[in-house]
A and B are shown apart, each in its own frame.
Chain A
Amino acid sequence: MSEIDEGPRATGNQAPDVFKVGAWVPMRQFREDEAVDFVIVGTGAGGGTLACRLAEKGFSVVAMDAGAYYRPLEDFASDEEEQSKLYWTDQRLVDGDNPLKMGANNSGKAVGGSTVHYAMVSLRFRPEWFKARSTLGYGVDWPLDWREMWGYYAQAERALTISGPVTYPWGPKRPRYPYRPHELNAVGKVLARGCEAMGYKWSPTPLATVSAPHGESPPCVYRGFCRIGCSTNAKQSALTVWLPRALKAGAEIRDLAMVGRIETDARGLATGVHYHRNGQWRFQRAKNVVVAGYAIETPRLLLASANERFPDGLANSSGAVGRYLMTQSNQGVWGQMDDEVRWNKGPPSLAMTEHWNYEDRKDFFGGYCWMSQGPLPQEWASVQTGSRGLWGEELRREMELYNHQVGVKMVGEMLPVETNRVTLADEVDQYGLRVARVTYSWTDNDKALIAHALDQMEQNLLAGGARKTFRQEDDTNHLNGTARMGDDPRTSVVNADCRSWDIPNLWVCDGSVFPTVGGVNPSLTIQAIALRTADRIETLAKRGEL
């Protein structure tokens, strides 16, 4: 589907049925001049989850997304180029010592957000990370308690029907994953063998793709196209889990609706959002506004909504909006096997080790995990040309070995630094909105962690039987921070409930609220926080404190 040709799909009191070709489900719609309880900007891990839970609790909800409303069965091709439609590739400026590469790894532009093309890795934080400063001596403490979060993690895991190991080898006890783990592919076994040789524990990765039928999702058939959009709906994402529930509970979802500005009134409260849809700017009134646009678009919107009363942007009295941006290091080590491996088969990260997340005998702060990999050919070619600098005949020869290739990549913790940040550039995008400038530089601690991880991963591959290894030293992925939560209005943007300190009816609910980023993929934590936020909003509403 070309979003430009067809226009918005969620109109006329119906939204696409993501489980059937050409089908629709009924959708409640709200008038723009009717102040809905919540307008939510973004429908990914944070916004999608929150929209569902708030609607289920009886609030009126309109959730907007700048991206298109796809039906995976008919709209997703087994083609990397075509599927880049799922990434946020609008113009952004990047700078700093280590400019971030924006796109596939760290953004999404579709209803469902980046969960539509995420790798489904669903890990919990190490409990100590919620008090990183007090217990481990770096970063800052979260205003959340891990024991409370453990309950929300379990709730998210149940909703997403996570397929995970029968017992998870790290961290405190957790309930059994709803579904059993997936079978390892050959590259997963290389990681596992390597870990056993190194004396490290390993585990089948807890994944948000089902290993047995669930509802309208068939079990995963191991095509391996997860990261360009699952076309079978085995993947459990905001698109297939939270939003269908949200619609059933009476939420409205507006696709292809780009929010450009949050309006505030004389009292300093948010009154609604200006959004661009069907070629014109419109206004939706709301009693509460939730920003869930992820770590670039969230601060961009808050900053772009600056007005006379809030000249530095909304919710920014601390000056922390846009600051403390944290990506995660995503370096990898690659190698070859004599046997055919076909690493692209199955979800890309079937086996993993969290050894260095739970082992503190190291000379840097933070932790990291690493996972087996199975990049599709184009992505693999870009590693060979980009990180390794191969071209021509040499590149062709390497690409012929695609089916013998193995590799592991890390998800590493980077420290929050004030100067790693999102600001507004003077250039404007297709909507006439100022584009985000993303400034990023690695700290010495980040570099030490990466160097350590590269050594460990290389050892792992060699011990697993690979040869001809090489290191990819330049990649990063998930983005967090930029609207961090905390206990102190002077240093944080929102409180533990994701409610902004400055504007009580303005909320932020996505990865932006992370004060530290941890060494695991953030999607499950974002969803757990959204679940908690929904419960808190319900409690506050009952008390009349909204």
Chain B
Amino acid sequence: MFGLKRRPPPPTLSSFAVDMAHAMLQARATKALAKAPAAAVETATHVRRTGSNRQDAWLLHGAAALLGGSVFADSGVEHYRGDFQNRAMFLPLIVSACSIAASLHGATTRKHGSHRMRDAAYAAAGLTGIVGTGFHLYNVTKEPGGLSWLNLFYSAPIGAPAALSLSGMMGFMAERVREAPAGTEPQLLGLRTSRVLAALTGLGLFGTVGEAGLLHFRGAFHNPAMLLPVTMPPVAAALMLEAAVSPPRKRHRWSRIWLAVTAILGVGGVGFHAYGVSRAMGGWKNWRQNVVDGPPLPAPPSFAGLALGGLAALRLIERHRR
């Protein structure tokens, strides 16, 4: 009687977020098109539909900046809590600050192509994350009990430095994408950047879920909301891994939605953690102690950073169908 016409799905918070991100990028694209010489960019219609390398680089710089910001604030608070007993504890602060600066520069400069200093900053972030993981692992295993729950709970968090590596890798990807000739997809070690990025996002999300899971287990999941970061982002992570190996023609609408959900969770997590701080003795009136000892305010946004990286990956995949 009414036919079987497909109706658009009802608007949800997550699809709204995806649409907002799209609208912002389209606005930037139109602005860029108006100013840039025609040869330097893809055809206008193509860009309008699937975006440009430049926009994706912008997204990746955003991802690198968010992850870097999360590390900067989190390691700042946590290493302050650890009294900076080892001078190396300043390193993630300096390196993440460089990663943030490189990302801001990359996102705002009009110049095409990569930049040596930005590449250096991102490489440093990638390396520092790996070295940091080694340090943290040593910190865990040197305690009595070694690699035990107790030490995983309370010694240096094993997964935290990886966020710095992820920031570096997102930035590194941004540089590769922006230096690729217009309309082409850059290659990484013979692999398509879009697929590598999708896989990296998926793995990064799984790692972050592991970290949140460990620390929320330490908190005995005393608030049901603590289950959110271990139940929702894994879907996005799995979808990203699937995207990394999916057939070229496939569309990734659900992946985008789950990435948006993950991003919202990352931002909303700060609010939940702020509530957690309020439940400690003295609440926010005693913020000097409770921000340091309570749930880490800067940790959840790393989910949002990874979600941005994932969004860039999907856009690259969909634009460069072969």
A residues within 8 Å of B by Cβ?
Answer: 165-166, 178-181, 183-184, 189, 192-193, 195-196, 202, 204, 211-214, 218-219, 221, 232, 234
Contact = CB atoms under 8 A, between A and B. Distances in A.
* Most chain A C-beta atoms within 10 Å of own C-beta, residue among B218, B289, B293: B218
A189 B143 contact: yes
A180 B219 contact: yes
A195 to B, nearest CB: 8
Contacts of B150: 165, 181, 183-184, 204
A214 B276 CA distance: 11
A178, A184, A196 pick with most chain B CB within 10 angstroms: A184
B190 interface: no
B280 interface: yes
Contact of A221 (B145, B217, B218, B289): B289
Contact of B281 (A196, A212, A218): A218
A421 B280 CA distance: 46
B149 interface: yes
B144 A211 contact: no
Interface string B209-232: 000000001111011000000000
Interface centre among B218, B219, B281 (most CB of A within 10 A): B281
A221 B220 contact: no
Nearest to A177: B220
A211 B220 contact: yes
Contact of A234 (B145, B222, B281, B293): B281
A180 B217 contact: yes
How many chain B residues sit at the interface, stated as a range, is 20 to 34
Contact of A232 (B222, B281, B293): B281
A232 B290 CA distance: 14
Contacts of A195: 144
Contact of B222 (A179, A181, A192): A179
A345 B281 CA distance: 16
Contacts of B279: 213, 218-219
Contacts of B272: none
A219 B294 CA distance: 9
Contacts of A179: 220, 222
19 contacts: A165-B150, A179-B222, A180-B217, A180-B218, A181-B149, A181-B150, A183-B150, A183-B153, A189-B144, A193-B144, A202-B144, A212-B218, A212-B220, A212-B222, A213-B222, A218-B282, A219-B281, A221-B280, A221-B293
A166 B149 contact: yes
Query: Which of A184, A204, A212, A221 gathers most chain B CB within 10 Å?
Result: A212
Nearest to A163: B220
A196 B280 contact: no
Name B's interface SS.
loop
A183 B82 CA distance: 14
A202 to B, nearest CB: 8
A212 B145 contact: no
A180 B280 contact: no
A309 B142 CA distance: 68
Interface string B57-98: 000000000000000000000000000000000000000000
A356 B219 CA distance: 32
Given A212-B220, A212-B222, A213-B222, A180 B153 contact: yes
B224 to A, nearest CB: 13
B2 interface: no
Most chain B beta carbons < 10 A, residue from A183, A189, A193, A219: A219
A192 B142 CA distance: 12
A175 to B, nearest CB: 13
Contacts of B293: 221
Contacts of A183: 150, 153-154
A-B CB proximity, top 3 nearest: A192-B144, A213-B279, A183-B154
Contacts of B145: 192, 196
A4 B72 CA distance: 56
A136 to B, nearest CB: 30
A181 B223 CA distance: 17
Contact of A180 (B144, B220, B223): B220
Given A192-B145, A214-B222, A218-B280, 19 more contacts: A166-B149, A180-B218, A180-B220, A184-B150, A189-B143, A192-B144, A196-B145, A202-B144, A204-B150, A211-B218, A212-B218, A212-B222, A213-B223, A213-B276, A213-B280, A218-B281, A219-B280, A221-B281, A232-B281
Contacts of A219: 279-281
A196 B154 CA distance: 19
Contacts of A192: 144-145
A147 to B, nearest CB: 26
B138 to A, nearest CB: 16
Nearest to A181: B150
B222 A165 contact: no
B149 A165 contact: yes
Contacts of B223: 213
B299 to A, nearest CB: 16
A13 B150 CA distance: 46
Contacts of B217: 180
B284 to A, nearest CB: 12
Contacts of B144: 184, 189, 192-193, 195-196, 202
Contacts of B281: 218-219, 221, 232, 234
Contacts of A193: 144
A78 B145 CA distance: 33
Contacts of A166: 149
A196 B153 CA distance: 20
Contacts of B289: 221
A193 B153 CA distance: 18
Interface in B148-163: 149-150, 153-154
Contacts of A181: 149-150, 153
Nearest to A196: B144
A344 B229 CA distance: 36
A176 to B, nearest CB: 9
A120 to B, nearest CB: 16
